[in-house]
Chains A and B, each alone.
Chain A
Amino acid sequence: MLKESILYESVGELAKRIESKQLSPVELTEAYLERSQKFGPRLNAYARLMPVEALDQARAADKDIHRGHYRGPLHGIPYAAKDLLAVKGVQTTWGAKPFADQVFDYNATVIEHLKNVGAVLLGKASMIELAGGLGYNSASASLQGETKNPWNTSCWTCGSSSGSGAIVAAGLAGFAIGTETWGSILCPSAFCGVSGFRPTYGRVSRRGAMALSYSLDKIGPMARSAEDCTRIFAAIAGHDPLDRSTLPVDRAAFTYSPAADLKKHGLRVGWLANLWKEYEPGVAKAIQAAHKVLPRHFSSVKDAVLPEGPWEDAAGVILQAEVASSFGDLIRSGRVKELRDPQGRIGGYANLTVSGGDFTTAQRVREILQKKMDALFETYDVLAAATLPAPATPLTLDLSKGLSFPDPLGAIGNLCGLPAISVPCGFTEKNLPVGLQFVGRAGDDASVLQAGQTFQHATEWHRKHPNLS
């Protein structure tokens, strides 16, 4: 039986044990499966565990490694994938009742990439129905029910990558894959105290992933450290001829570099002191402490201000118009009524009325914003701020009232396809994690990952984990 502390180790640490044959993939997979079977249902973290398939993959990894065919740091590492990624022959529910029996006959490209490097798929992570694209007002807006936060099970994990956040935080797998259209990687990462990376739009293929918003959806890793995110991102990034939204070969691929190589030059940080109008006191305290750490480890830290404009409105209109297309059939047919959340059952109708002219205006505003942000990144390598102004919210909260504050950086980052990472930076007095986000220029994923790693070399917050027993 493996010690719990091993199950909370980073991918890098686990990989060392596996490569040196101190730990076998089968042993590790069995231990994560046992823990997932014990805690997964309590947290509603999984849509489906795949023990048979996982153990088959683990045995294959064992065999490979013993033959001397070690494929790299993800070989034999168990992970979970958000239940909107197609896995051949396995139910992929998109977290929603109308798709509860959906089965694809192929793997999403991300799943294929991870299979090729020898990672072991433990199961599908629970999620908010249809990634929240039709609106929702409660944490229980999911086929799997509300996902509970491992730090405090009366609190929510945030969405829509709810299960991915819970699984990493609870040590149920080595890492997880999440997706973000607007906040769905960064928010669960902050609420769950894990490191979550949203890559530049187009760097990770979305083939086989549920499409919510064609120009906003991204896929990224959620893990125990920024360095782990870097390793996982290197495995899943790349041009995909089957997904024409991916960047060309030379701009999509990403090569992992150890932290020492990444730190060739210091980063200039633009600190967004006034990003959020109000902070919960516990969050403010943690963020102030994080702010004090930065000058010692980054080449400069200066106050920055975001450009002003109707960015959230543009993001909202684009999202609504694209959802009117991606889920137009579901709305028009009336099957949307099968969704669990009352808001989700009706939230999509107004989307049907967005005109082509207004959508195009929003896209024109988007282009202006992209240029403004590109200009801002002449001065700063990364922007930094609290990921959210509040910690994990109670499971019973009406989200329309309690988690509905303006999110300008979320709108800007997703409209422009900018890479971002959320890393743990402290805890509130109620022992709930607080996240710090770094956002970079489109295509400069390396600086964002470097910023996360630099912060984590100076702090220990990412090594804390909840007591589940």
Chain B
Amino acid sequence: MNKSQGQKINRREFAQRAALLSAALVPAGIAFSEPAAAVTTGDAQLPEGAEKLTAESRVEAEARFQQLMSQYGTRFDSEEQKSIRESCFGLQRSLEKLRAFQLENGDAPAVYLKPLVEREKKPQSAPAAGAVPTAAPKKP
């Protein structure tokens, strides 16, 4: 079985992968002061539309791609890698627009999960006479 397919990896392999990942991510930090040097992977062309992204976003997209390659890169041929890189830059374009949207601190996320209490409307039985609470309510 290919180790990249869900099998546990040993400590050494983990260290190698972590090093690969950090190698991909460290330039991102540096890049904020020197973006031009960090936006390419070797001689890879930027995906279409990437030039519209900020330098920081380009670095983030590239780091996203590198993270995936460090974890799953052996699964893909060069064409697939190219497509995944394009997906990462495509996602980044959406994220850049989203992050630019004006939100106030109090603008909460849409909540679709109903709290569990809705299901628990059964009347509670009255405590037996003389019963005492097992614990006194705590003050905040």
**Which B45-72 residues have C-beta < 8 A from chain A?**
64, 67-68, 72
B41 within 8 A of A: no
Interface majority SS (helix, strand, loop, mixed), chain A: helix
Which residues from chain B sit less than 8 Å from chain A, CB to CB?
A: 2, 4-6, 64, 67-68, 72, 75-76, 80, 83-84, 87-88, 90-91, 93-95, 97-101, 103, 107-110, 112-114, 118-119
Chain A residues engaging chain B, CB cutoff 8 angstroms: 201-202, 214-215, 241, 244-245, 248, 309-310, 312-314, 316-317, 320, 332-335, 337, 342-343, 345-347, 349-350, 352-354, 358, 360-368, 370
With A245-B112, A350-B87 in contact, do A334 and B75 touch (Cβ < 8 Å)? yes
A112 → B minimal CB distance (Å): 20
Asked if residues A343 and B83 are in contact (CB atoms below 8 Å), the reply is: yes
Asked if B112 and A332 make an inter-chain contact with CB atoms under 8 angstroms apart, the answer reads no
Across the interface, do A333 and B5 meet the contact criterion of CB distance under 8 Å? yes
Chain B residue with minimal CB distance to A343?
A: B83
5 pairs of A and B residues whose beta carbons are closest in the complex: A363-B109, A313-B94, A350-B87, A366-B110, A310-B97
Contact partner of A353 (CB less than 8 A), chosen from B68, B93, B99, is B68
Q: A244-B114, A358-B95, A366-B110 are in contact. Are A310 and B101 (CB under 8 A)?
A: yes
User: Are A349 and B84 neighbours in the complex by a CB distance under 8 Å?
Assistant: yes
Cβ 8 A contact of B98, one of A335, A350, A352, A361: A361
Expressed in whole angstroms, the minimum distance between the Cβ of B62 and any Cβ of chain A is 11
- Select from chain B the residue with minimum beta-carbon distance to A216: B112
* Least CB separation from B5: chain A residue: A334
Shortest B78–chain A CB gap in Å is 12
CB distance from B117 to the nearest CB of A (A): 12
Instruction: List chain B residues, Cβ under 8 A from A347.
Output: 87
Interface contact B94-A310, CB-CB below 8 Å:
yes
What residues on B are CB-neighbors of A361 within 8 Å? Answer: 98-99, 101, 103
Give the contacting residue for A314; candidates B6, B67, B72, B98; CB below 8 A: B98
Query: A365 near B101 (CB under 8 angstroms)?
Result: yes
- Chain A residues contacting B5 (CB-CB under 8 Å) are 333-335
B residues within 8 A CB of A316?
Answer: 91, 94
Chain A's closest residue to B1 (CB) is A334
Provide 29 A-B residue pairs closer than 8 Å at the C-beta atoms, listed in order of the A residue.
A201-B112, A215-B110, A313-B94, A313-B95, A314-B98, A316-B94, A334-B4, A334-B72, A337-B75, A346-B80, A347-B87, A349-B72, A349-B84, A352-B68, A353-B67, A353-B91, A354-B91, A358-B99, A360-B109, A362-B98, A363-B110, A365-B98, A365-B101, A365-B103, A366-B109, A366-B110, A367-B108, A368-B103, A370-B110
When distances are taken between beta carbons in the complex, the residues of chain A under 8 Å from B112 are: 201-202, 214-215, 245
Q: Which residues of B contact A363 (CB under 8 A)?
A: 109-110
Q: A201-B112, A346-B80 are known; give 5 further A-B pairs, CB within 8 A.
A: A244-B119, A245-B112, A333-B5, A362-B98, A364-B107
In the assembled complex, the Cα of A333 lies from the Cα of B5 at a distance in Å of 5
